[in-house]
């Protein structure tokens, strides 16, 4: 088989597996085989870059870095919808439609109104060629590479279930657009925030912001890590393909697009109201936030007859649900201490029914939030279910405030170890600085260490670590490597029962829990500990739990330094030159390695035999002639490709920035330079240099 044939075979096969997985929930291959094939394809494409197909599944992992998004004009404008908030307003809309259609019979299609980011995708000859944001409705940003990371979005609509393809389907037009809502599923949002909390990063506010932030990122491999999804709800083409919106939804689904099955055809406005009422609470079962219903006239001919106002179609409208809220009393506040010492206040409420579930706790985020709300203990508070799983307190019902309320006194000392709390300028949280002695911080440090992405000793979960700490068998995770069969076998403790809250607000006594180290458990644990010595250095570095060093940052540090010894002595100036490492992370790393306890900890891990070296994947440093200087380039160059230019900057100690700002020292200007960068550089007085001047800066 020729390389092209092999590339075609792998591309088609992998796209087909992907289609089966996302469209029909069928895994035709195991993950291992899939990954092997993907690796093969990646390798072949690296050898023959010009043979790579535009619908290659390797584009899904990202890898492109764009300095600025290209602006693209929408072939069809992206309009917005009028809003209604009541049945009466909806009936008015229905009357307008009826009048506009002059007594004709008509139907509606109702869909959920998804609360994400509007996206428009263009397909040419079945291949996804462009993905864009809404922008101002007329033109948006070309974010094709980011959109390709959405795994449920077909890169090639010709490539799908082979049998189904033939049957009764309309031919796919040569050029069409589909539109839909890009979103971050709740489960992903929770996962990302858990990881961020774990390394002391600030939390993402809600899934919508997280999605819109992700789609606008310039490094598409960072986008791929956020596992975005998209529900499609519109089909557009120059030539008429369908008679009704319903037909288009069915066809899009058949072609492999992710169309939410929640839509329904409705005969009249009464039917629409039934749909609205049904989904008022059912919508909380969906993987993303929704804020209403979209009602569309089904027939395309009738849509055309009704036409548009300046901003929105006359054939569609949104019905917005009122925010789902409830009010209840705030009884007490508990303060939780995380791994990094961050203290988070949690409101304990009189149980109340909210959108189908009983709520007894709500997030209060931090001290600022308590102040902003002006809330006191005993107050009646409003709680709302936003995008997040945990509801939040959104306000105080001052009309119901009584004399009995008491001010909230934010603790000045850690609720667990009593160390005075500290707060750094610009941070929303108070922290307990007693990293080493504070029990929840210590416990969380172990949990961080044993997780799968770190040392993978998860058999130690479920209260076992707690018991080991309590019995004095371990103090730091390095002590795990001294555990023996003798020390562990037979350890046992019964934890008292904690009450369980029922849905009706009453409590039933829970069951007592026993943690027990039987022979089988001990064998599993000791094997997992032994095996953890083979975990790659990236995992070890992540496991150390240095603040702000998540799995990705650990990877970048290993790529750059290769080994613990090089990293340990790296000065700040060098750390900040590592890709994606800014001053905040660099300082945190440098500081961590100055603490004598941390150094002892590292040496004990070294002695235990865990991996302290990985593979360096970095340009060899050639000089430090560009050290401390920041660069950005625009246009094309005679002697360098973009990659070579970037490599030269790094090889001579310089740092590449992603945009023109006051922090930029030099803009390297080539042929066909972008006017916006040059304009901004002029405005900020950033020196502009030519290719020759750049070369002279590091020439021998």
Least separation in angstroms between CB 692 and ligand IVH: 48
CA distance 57 to 22: 14
Residues binding ligand IVH: number (CB under 6 A): 15
For ligand IVH, the binding residues in 230-249 under the rule CB under 6 A are 233-234
Least separation in angstroms between CB 148 and ligand IVH: 20
Give the bridge partners for 359, in sequence order: 352
- Find the residue with minimal CB distance to ligand IVH: 118
Measured from the Cβ of residue 191, the count of other Cβ atoms closer than 10 Å reads 14
Least separation in angstroms between CB 81 and ligand IVH: 4
Residue with Cβ nearer ligand IVH (181 or 229): 181
Residue with Cβ nearer ligand IVH (279 or 517): 279
Q: Is 114 in the site for ligand IVH (CB under 6 A)?
A: yes
Q: Is 111 in the site for ligand IVH (CB under 6 A)?
A: yes
Q: Is 317 in the site for ligand IVH (CB under 6 A)?
A: no
CA distance 216 to 147: 10
Residue with Cβ nearer ligand IVH (306 or 480): 306
Inter-residue contact 574 to 630 (CB < 8 Å): no
Q: Is 80 in the site for ligand IVH (CB under 6 A)?
A: yes
Q: Of residues 113, 296, 556, 677, which has the active-site annotation?
A: 113
- Radius of gyration, alpha carbons of the chain: 29
Q: Which stretch binds ligand IVH (CB under 6 A): 113-121, 274-282, 482-490, 505-513?
A: 113-121
Q: Is 313 in the site for ligand IVH (CB under 6 A)?
A: yes
Residue with Cβ nearer ligand IVH (81 or 343): 81
Expressed in percent and rounded to 5, the helix, strand and coil fractions of the chain are: 40, 20, 40
For ligand IVH, the binding residues in 496-555 under the rule CB under 6 A are none
Q: Is 113 in the site for ligand IVH (CB under 6 A)?
A: yes
Q: Is 181 in the site for ligand IVH (CB under 6 A)?
A: yes
Name which of 296, 295, 298 is nearest 243 in CA terms. 298
Q: Is 294 in the site for ligand IVH (CB under 6 A)?
A: yes
Least separation in angstroms between CB 621 and ligand IVH: 47
Residue with Cβ nearer ligand IVH (178 or 551): 178
Name which of 690, 686, 687, 651 is nearest 668 in CA terms. 690
CB proximity list for 622: less than 8 A, separation 6 or greater: 651, 652, 698
Query: Residue with structure tokens 């006051």?
Result: 662
In 41-162, beta strands by DSSP E: 71-73, 83-84, 108-114, 117-124, 127-133, 139-141
Is 511 assigned a catalytic role? no
SS3 471: coil
Q: Is 79 in the site for ligand IVH (CB under 6 A)?
A: yes
Q: Is 286 in the site for ligand IVH (CB under 6 A)?
A: no
Pick one of 37, 41, 81, 211: the residue that binds ligand IVH (CB under 6 A).
81
Q: Give the side-chain half-sphere CA count within 13 A for 659.
A: 8
CA distance 486 to 385: 50
Count Cβ neighbours within 10 Å for each residue of 564-579 and write b for 16 or more, e otherwise: beebbebeeebbbbbe
Least separation in angstroms between CB 118 and ligand IVH: 3
What residue ranges bind ligand IVH (CB under 6 A)? 79-81, 111, 113-114, 118, 134, 181, 233-234, 294, 313, 316, 318
Catalytic residue list: 113
């Amino acid at each position: 088989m020729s390389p092209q044939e092999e590339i075609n075979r792998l591309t088609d096969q992998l796209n087909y597996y992907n289609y089966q997985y996302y469209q029909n929930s069928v895994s035709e291959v195991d993950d291992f085989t899939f990954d092997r094939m993907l690796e093969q394809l990646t390798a072949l494409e690296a050898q023959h870059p010009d043979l790579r197909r535009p619908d290659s599944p390797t584009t899904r992992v990202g890898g492109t870095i764009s300095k600025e998004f290209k602006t693209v004009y929408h072939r069809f404008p992206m309009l917005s919808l009028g809003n209604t908030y009541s049945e009466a307003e909806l009936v008015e809309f229905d009357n307008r439609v009826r009048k506009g259609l002059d007594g004709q019979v008509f139907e509606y299609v109702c869909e959920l109104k998804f609360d994400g980011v509007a996206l428009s995708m263009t397909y040419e000859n079945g291949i996804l060629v462009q993905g864009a944001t809404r922008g101002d409705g007329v033109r948006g940003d070309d974010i094709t590479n980011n959109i390709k990371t959405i795994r449920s979005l077909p890169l090639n609509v010709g490539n799908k279930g082979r049998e189904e393809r033939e049957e009764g389907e309309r031919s796919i037009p040569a050029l069409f657009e589909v539109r839909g809502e890009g979103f971050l599923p709740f489960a992903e949002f929770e996962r990302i925030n858990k990881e961020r909390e774990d390394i002391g990063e600030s939390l993402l506010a809600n899934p919508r912001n997280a999605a819109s932030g992700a789609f606008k990122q310039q490094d598409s491999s960072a986008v791929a890590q956020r596992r975005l999804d998209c529900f499609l709800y519109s089909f557009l083409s120059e030539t008429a393909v369908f008679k009704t919106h319903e037909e288009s939804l069915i066809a899009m689904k058949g072609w492999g697009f992710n169309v939410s099955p929640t839509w329904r055809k409705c005969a009249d406005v009464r039917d629409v109201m039934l749909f609205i009422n049904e989904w008022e609470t059912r919508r909380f079962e969906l993987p993303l936030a929704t804020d209403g219903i979209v009602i569309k006239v089904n027939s395309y001919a009738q849509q055309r007859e009704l036409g548009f106002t300046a901003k929105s179609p006359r054939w569609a409208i949104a019905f917005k649900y009122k925010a789902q809220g409830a009010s209840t009393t705030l009884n007490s506040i508990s303060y939780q201490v995380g791994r990094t010492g961050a203290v988070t206040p949690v409101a304990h409420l009189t149980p109340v029914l909210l959108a189908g579930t009983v709520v007894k706790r709500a997030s209060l985020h931090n001290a600022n939030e308590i102040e902003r709300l002006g809330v006191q203990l005993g107050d009646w508070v409003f709680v709302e279910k936003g995008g997040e799983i945990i509801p939040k307190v959104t306000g105080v019902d001052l009309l119901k405030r009584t004399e009995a309320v008491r001010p909230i006194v934010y603790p000045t000392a850690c609720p667990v170890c009593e160390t005075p709390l500290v707060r750094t300028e610009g941070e929303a949280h108070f922290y307990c600085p007693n990293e080493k002695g504070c029990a929840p911080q210590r416990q969380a440090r172990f949990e961080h260490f044993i997780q799968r992405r770190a040392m993978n000793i998860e058999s130690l979960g479920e209260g076992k670590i707690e018991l080991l700490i309590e019995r004095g068998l371990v103090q730091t995770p390095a002590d795990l490597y001294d555990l023996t069969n003798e020390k562990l076998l037979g350890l046992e403790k019964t934890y008292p029962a904690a009450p369980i809250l029922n849905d009706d607000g009453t409590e039933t006594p829970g069951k007592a829990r026993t943690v027990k180290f039987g022979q089988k458990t001990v064998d599993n644990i000791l094997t997992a500990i032994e095996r953890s010595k083979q975990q790659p250095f990236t995992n070890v570095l992540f496991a150390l739990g240095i603040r702000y060093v998540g799995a990705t940052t650990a990877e970048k540090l290993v790529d750059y330094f290769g080994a613990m010894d090089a990293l340990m002595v790296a000065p700040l100036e060098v750390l900040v030159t590592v890709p994606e490492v800014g001053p905040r992370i660099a300082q945190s790393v440098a500081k961590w390695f100055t603490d004598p306890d941390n150094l002892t900890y590292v040496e004990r891990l070294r002695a235990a035999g865990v991996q302290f070296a990985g593979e360096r994947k970095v340009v060899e440093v050639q000089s430090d002639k560009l050290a401390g200087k920041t660069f950005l380039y625009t246009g094309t160059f005679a002697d360098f490709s973009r990659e070579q230019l970037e490599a030269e900057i790094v090889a001579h100690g310089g740092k590449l920035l992603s945009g023109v700002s006051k922090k930029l020292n030099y803009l390297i200007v080539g042929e066909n330079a972008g006017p916006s960068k040059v304009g901004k550089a002029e405005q900020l007085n950033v020196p502009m240099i030519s290719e020759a001047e750049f070369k002279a800066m590091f020439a021998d």
